[in-house]
Amino acid sequence: MAAALDEDDISNEDYYSLLNVRREATQEELKAAYRRLCMLYHPDKHRDPELKRQADRLFNIVHEAYEVLSDPQTRAIYDIYGKRGLDVEGWEVVERRRSPAEIREEYERLQREREERRLQQRTNPKGMISVGIDATDLFDRYEEDYEDMVGGGLPYVEINKMHISQSIEAPLTTKDTAILSGSLSTHNGNGGGTINLALRRVTSTKGWGEVELGAGDAHGPIFGMKIFRNLTPRCFVTAQCGLQFSSQGVRPGVTTVLARHLDKNTMGYLQWRWGTQSSMNTSIVRDTKSSHFTLAFQLGIPHTFMMMSYQYKFQDEDQTKIKGSVKSGFFGTVVEYGAERKISRHSVLGATVSVGVPQGVSLKIKLNRASQTYFFPIHLTDQLLPSAVFYATVGPLVFYLAMQQLIIRPYVRAQKEQELEKQRESSASNIARKKQEAEAAVLLMQESVRRIIEAEESRMGLIILNAWYGKFVTDNSRKHERAKVIDVTVPLQCLVKDSKLILTEASKSGLPGFYDPCVGEEKSLKVLYQFRGVMHQVLSGDTEPLRIPKQSHRIDADT
């Protein structure tokens, strides 16, 4: 039973980190790393019974790592499946006789089969709730209307419209999907609803087709078809036609869109629409890592306009974006500006101020929560009042900052702590084992480290004075947090060879003599070392490759 547990414990061992080699390491690099660790852990080199027992265990782990990575077939399986892929019985016995390329092909086939099973279980629900609010009484009050009313001194805010829509997808096969959607709308006491069923079929890698049937109490039955086709690798076209049946007869409609990649980040669109609202539209959309730009021009009945919008994307963890747009046409001119930000793992909050003639001033608040959207357009005034623009701009900002401090940040912090606690509990036994192995490895390294230090001192080489690994707290705003680090001076000195220390991009927690002191948290390695009699210091990320000594690590005597 104990042997089974030990085997399960090392199932997530990172062999590359253990041997301190690159994932692209050659056979010569693997052999050199293996020989070095064998000299360190070989049981015959230790007389103390306890050290001999620990050395035997660590030697077996190192030997297993080398056996797996030195064989091309088992290495290919390990790279794809991890250690568990080597332990499963059945098909993999055959796979070990195949080439790495054939193993990868088999893995991709199994992935496709798993994806098919997931498709059968997925409905991909999407929904939207929109609540329109009329708050014009806050700014456009007519005092005489309230003189004879009880409580007339308070402004009147009402919900004048609401829209709810929902859709689900039901994959029938890997090529066929059924989409069921419905919506309910109400405006000033009048409302209606629709229900639609669409069947989509992927005809080839270049296109798909869709048939749609719908019914509603407001517009009558609807029948439509839609086709998508890639004409070239840089160009595609969509065509949509529909028939709407009503008491006034049949209303046909056709929409065609031609799109082309102008360059890596830019798309050009040409759209033609014929029906109750005919129009021609052309637009250019440029989307990069840091910005999004759109320029559009439309000629149509009844709407003809020109529109330009720009969005800047901040490269922060909250994915903050600020945006602005101007739209001018026969209906007037509208200027919009706003921002959006990620407030939790699955939620994005945004606010937009719309100022237009003759539309007035509106505030639009949107919350995206996973696949659900909540939209609140608030109409503030029919006129261009500076006070309305000011409160529409400052109000949401102040409200967001208050919510961020009082609710969002405490909630996110509590969620993160809860997840970390669960992760710590699930990996507690494995971390305890790794800690025990690391402590044993440090004891086994003592003699080797003594010889390495003597050799380095004789040539004024590389001496590791102090080294710590784990979570460091350097930000003043996080002083309440406790640093969680372990001393790894001995393990690092043991890796020094010919006055050089080279660490690969793998997580350092898998290195001999290391373990993870803070599961699930960001970790770094801080090293204070001496080279040629001069002090050096470096702070490296957990998965960053590290080579020392370096001139840039030098500590100036003046500081």
Q: What is the pLDDT of residues 325-340, one digit of tens each?
A: 999 998 889 999 999 9
Q: Which residue would you say has higher pLDDT here, 478 or 89? A: 478
DSSP conformation letters of 282-334: EEEEEE-SSEEEEEEEEEESS--EEEEEEEEE--STT--EEEEEEEEETTEEE
Listed residue (52, 55, 19) closest to 35, CA to CA: 19
Q: In the predicted model, what is the mean pLDDT of residues 500-529?
A: 88
> Looking at the predicted structure, is the pLDDT value of residue 164 above 90?
yes
The string of pLDDT tens digits covering residues 142-157 is: 555 545 555 556 778 8
Q: In the predicted model, what is the mean pLDDT of residues 9-28?
A: 76
| Enclosing H/E stretch for 546 | strand 546-548
Q: What is the pLDDT of residue 557?
A: 56
Amino acid type, 427: S
> Looking at the predicted structure, is the pLDDT value of residue 246 above 70?
yes
SS3 549: coil
* Contact indicator for 440, 58 with CB cutoff of 8 Å: yes
CA–CA separation, 100 vs 128, rounded Å? Answer: 47
Q: What domains lie within the chain, and their CATH numbers?
A: 19-97 (1.10.287.110), 427-558 (no CATH)
Amino acid type, 199: L
CA–CA separation, 512 vs 492, rounded Å? Answer: 9
The string of pLDDT tens digits covering residues 187-242 is: 887 888 899 999 999 998 899 999 999 988 767 788 999 999 999 989 999 999 99
Please tell me the total number of residues recorded for the chain in this structure.
559
Q: What is the pLDDT of residue 151?
A: 52
Q: What is the pLDDT of residue 538?
A: 93
> Looking at the predicted structure, is the pLDDT value of residue 379 above 90?
yes
CA–CA separation, 102 vs 105, rounded Å? Answer: 5
Q: Which residues contact 314 (CB under 8 A, 6 or more apart)?
A: 320, 321, 322
> Looking at the predicted structure, is the pLDDT value of residue 25 above 80?
yes
Residue 7 banded pLDDT, cuts 50, 70, 90: very low
Q: Which residues contact 209 (CB under 8 A, 6 or more apart)?
A: 200, 201, 203, 225, 226, 227, 228
Pairing assessment for the beta strands 126-134 and 372-381 based on DSSP bridges: parallel
Residue 512 banded pLDDT, cuts 50, 70, 90: confident
Residue 364 banded pLDDT, cuts 50, 70, 90: very high
Least confident range of 89-98, 231-240, 494-503, 537-546? 89-98
Q: What is the pLDDT of residue 259?
A: 96
Would you call the peptide bond into 302 cis, given omega within 30 degrees of 0 as the criterion?
Answer: yes
List strand residue ranges (DSSP E) for 89-189, in order. Answer: 126-134, 158-171, 176-187
Q: What is the pLDDT of residue 411?
A: 83
> Looking at the predicted structure, is the pLDDT value of residue 353 above 50?
yes
Residue 77 banded pLDDT, cuts 50, 70, 90: confident
Q: Which residue would you say has higher pLDDT here, 416 or 508? A: 508
> Looking at the predicted structure, is the pLDDT value of residue 559 above 80?
no
CA–CA separation, 521 vs 214, rounded Å? Answer: 51
Residue 104 banded pLDDT, cuts 50, 70, 90: low
> Looking at the predicted structure, is the pLDDT value of residue 166 above 90?
yes
520: left (phi over 0), alpha (psi -120 to 50) or beta: left
Q: What is the pLDDT of residue 409?
A: 83
CA–CA separation, 361 vs 395, rounded Å? Answer: 14
CA–CA separation, 469 vs 487, rounded Å? Answer: 7
Q: And the tokens for 351?
A: 């606010």
Please report where in the chains the tokens 């049949």 appear, as a residue.
250
Q: What is the pLDDT of residue 477?
A: 46
Q: For the chain, what percent of residues have pLDDT higher than 70?
A: 85
Q: What is the pLDDT of residue 6?
A: 41
> Looking at the predicted structure, is the pLDDT value of residue 5 above 50?
no
Q: What is the pLDDT of residue 100?
A: 62
- Mean pLDDT for the chain? 84
Q: What is the pLDDT of residue 250?
A: 87
Q: pTM of this prediction?
A: 0.62
> Looking at the predicted structure, is the pLDDT value of residue 117 above 90?
no
Q: What is the pLDDT of residue 504?
A: 86
> Looking at the predicted structure, is the pLDDT value of residue 359 above 50?
yes
> Looking at the predicted structure, is the pLDDT value of residue 249 above 70?
yes
